Amino acid sequence: MLKKQIGQASGNGDTELPSRRGRPPGDPEVKRAELLKAATSVIAQEGYASASLRKVAQRAGYTTGAVTYYFANKEELILALIESRFDRYDAMIDDIQADTAIEGLFERWLRLTTGDPEFWPVMSELLAHARHDPKLAAVYKQRYARFRDVYTSILAAGQARGTVRDDIPADLLADQLSAMGDGWALLFPLEPERFTPSRVKELVAAAIALIAPVPGTPR
């Protein structure tokens, strides 16, 4: 009761943390997924600062107490959310890694970031906040590093086959392509009409042309 009074007095919905009275009914994994989906929706539509536990609970149709059973506070919720976003990256990487085809990786990546209208707005919102949140920044650096490492290995394999230019180290090409893709993804929420399926194919083809072997360059 005291915690509730403090929360009401401060006007901060995140301060109100009802005591946990046992696990809410239902499948825990399903409930966690629903809460993460609700958090994604709130952040995409209203921004990170507005994503209080109370708003997430309302969006999911749960009580704030149900949210705090799974996530003790907003920081814990946001960390779980960003991990779940990168899990989707990892699943994409696992699907394409054995193929070592840079075209396939680029196409999958663009489909992932432009196919879900809430995916990249949330990723970019949290990335901006990570500048002032060491824990969130650590998750971004660790999980994004794996994506770049796989990118590098795929490009190195292409260099060995002669399908990717080898006058620039594979890790530098990986950084360049990652930055290019991130730039497209940042623009997509602002100009979705530009990223039609045909244009996405043209963007992929242009990126592949940039990393193609330079004619006359000795191997």
Domain that residue 48 falls in: 2-72
Is residue 187 domain-shared with residue 93, that is, in the same domain?
yes
Share of the chain above pLDDT 70, in %: 82
Euclidean distance between CA atoms 66 and 193, whole angstroms: 39
Q: What is the mean pLDDT of residues 1-25?
A: 43
Residue 218 in any domain: the answer is no
Dump pLDDT digits (tens) for 180-204: 878 887 787 788 888 888 888 888 8
User: Do 49 and 78 meet the contact criterion of CB atoms below 8 Å apart?
Assistant: no
pLDDT at 23 over 80: no
How far is residue 113 CA from its own chain's centroid?
8
Whether pTM > 0.85 for this model: the answer is: no
Instruction: State which of 72, 95, 112 marks the end of a domain.
Output: 72
Instruction: State which of 51, 72, 93 marks the end of a domain.
Output: 72
Instruction: State which of 44, 72, 100 marks the end of a domain.
Output: 72
Is residue 177 domain-shared with residue 80, that is, in the same domain?
yes
Dump pLDDT digits (tens) for 55-97: 999 999 999 998 999 999 999 999 999 999 888 878 877 776 6
Is residue 194 domain-shared with residue 152, that is, in the same domain?
yes
Nearest to 124 by CA among 196, 188, 39: 188
Is residue 89 domain-shared with residue 105, that is, in the same domain?
yes
Residue 216 in any domain: the answer is no
